[in-house]
């Protein structure tokens, strides 16, 4: 799986990186785009997952972004905050020029987080179902703005995007709640899935300890997997958060064999060890002793010989 390609990352178009419950504030379909004359005029043929043939009369212009569903998928809806894997073709609606396309290779889809792209694409993906092919006409006000020229469009151009929604990872752990484990930090969940962590005043364990807060029923994580996770890291002694993917709203993609995320962050060996054998959809609390964390060296905001607490939501396996 790849991040979205460089042209539109630089331009600000594609930035990276289940059906949500009704209490999730992101699960709002009111902002999802409707079809209209600009999106309906985009003719798309070909099989889902294969590079389509796209034709439309130029110029395509619209003052409001629109979405037409070319192929209706049968998978779960996607919502703001979810990491999805897509293939896409992006055109200048004024002159029909192809600006960018993915390879339509099942092993090389582009990953993005809904809500972290441009407004028109975010709205176009909102409440779409996995397996869908969409034709989105992005209005200038929902487009690239001042970054448009570097992407080959004018700030007044409509952008046409044809996108296949190949896969969606969970926005948060959705497993069955489990009884709390005595002596462990207490975890409470805010709407949307972000955990709050209260560390006890007792001395921390001296060995790696793992508790399952929510028991998922998805695939089992192995040491050779690459997993998509949300996590919050807390210092036991200081009882303060030192790292959290929830701050940016972008999940981490972790290569278990190296302990490295796609963003280049090194996570402790104890966190990786605690994830092995857990299931997708689970939320786990992992207490990592200094010997399996950053030890006497520390790391950034983590002091020397610190015991760490990680609350990890396992969202999927790549």
Whole-number pLDDT of residue 20:
31
H or E element in which residue 274 lies:
helix 269-275
For the chain, what is the mean pLDDT?
A: 90
195-198 and 186-189 beta bridge pairing: antiparallel
Give the separation between CA 103 and CA 88, rounded to whole angstroms: 9
Q: What is the per-residue pLDDT across 303-314, written as a single tens digit (0 to 9) for each?
A: 999 999 999 999
Q: What is the per-residue pLDDT across 258-303, written as a single tens digit (0 to 9) for each?
A: 999 999 999 999 999 999 999 999 999 999 999 999 998 889 899 9
Residue of 29, 125, 54, 44 lying closest to 84 (CA atoms): 125
Sign (positive/negative) of CA torsion 76, 81, 86, 90?
positive
Q: What is the per-residue pLDDT across 85-130, written as a single tens digit (0 to 9) for each?
A: 999 999 999 999 999 999 999 887 799 999 999 999 999 999 999 9
What is the 3-state secondary structure of 45-77? Answer: ECCCCCCCEEECCCCCCCCCCEEEEEECCCCCE
pLDDT of 34 over the 60 cut: yes
What predicted TM-score, i.e. pTM, was given to this entire model?
0.87
Whole-number pLDDT of residue 26:
60
Whole-number pLDDT of residue 181:
92
């Amino acid at each position: 799986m790849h991040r979205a390609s460089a042209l539109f990352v630089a331009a600000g178009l594609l930035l990276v990186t289940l059906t949500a419950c009704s209490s999730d504030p992101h699960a709002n379909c009111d902002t999802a785009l409707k079809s209209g004359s600009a999106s309906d005029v985009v003719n798309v043929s070909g099989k889902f997952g294969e590079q389509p043939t796209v034709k439309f009369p130029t110029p395509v212009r619209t003052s409001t972004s629109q979405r037409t569903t070319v192929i209706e998928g049968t998978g779960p809806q996607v919502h703001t905050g979810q990491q999805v894997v897509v293939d896409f073709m992006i055109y200048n609606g004024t002159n029909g020029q192809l600006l960018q396309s993915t390879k339509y290779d099942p092993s090389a889809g582009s990953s993005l987080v809904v809500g972290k792209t441009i407004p028109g694409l975010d709205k176009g993906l909102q409440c779409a179902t996995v397996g869908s092919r969409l034709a989105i006409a992005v209005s200038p006000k929902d487009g690239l703005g001042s970054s448009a020229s570097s992407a080959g469009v004018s700030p007044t151009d409509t952008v046409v995007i044809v996108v296949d929604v190949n896969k969606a990872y969970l926005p948060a752990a959705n497993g069955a709640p489990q009884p709390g484990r005595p002596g462990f930090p207490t975890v409470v969940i805010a709407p949307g899935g972000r955990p709050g962590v209260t560390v006890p005043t007792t001395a921390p364990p001296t060995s790696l300890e793992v508790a399952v807060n929510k028991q998922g029923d998805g695939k089992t994580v192995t040491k050779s997997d690459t997993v998509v996770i949300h996590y919050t890291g807390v210092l036991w002694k200081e009882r303060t958060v030192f790292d959290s993917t929830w701050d940016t709203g972008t999940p981490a993609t972790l290569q278990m064999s190296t302990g490295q995320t796609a963003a280049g962050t090194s996570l402790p060996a104890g966190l990786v060890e605690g994830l092995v054998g857990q299931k997708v959809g689970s939320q786990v609390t992992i207490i990592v002793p200094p010997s399996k964390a950053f030890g006497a060296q520390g790391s950034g905001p983590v002091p020397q010989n610190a015991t760490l607490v990680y609350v990890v939501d396992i969202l999927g396996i790549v």
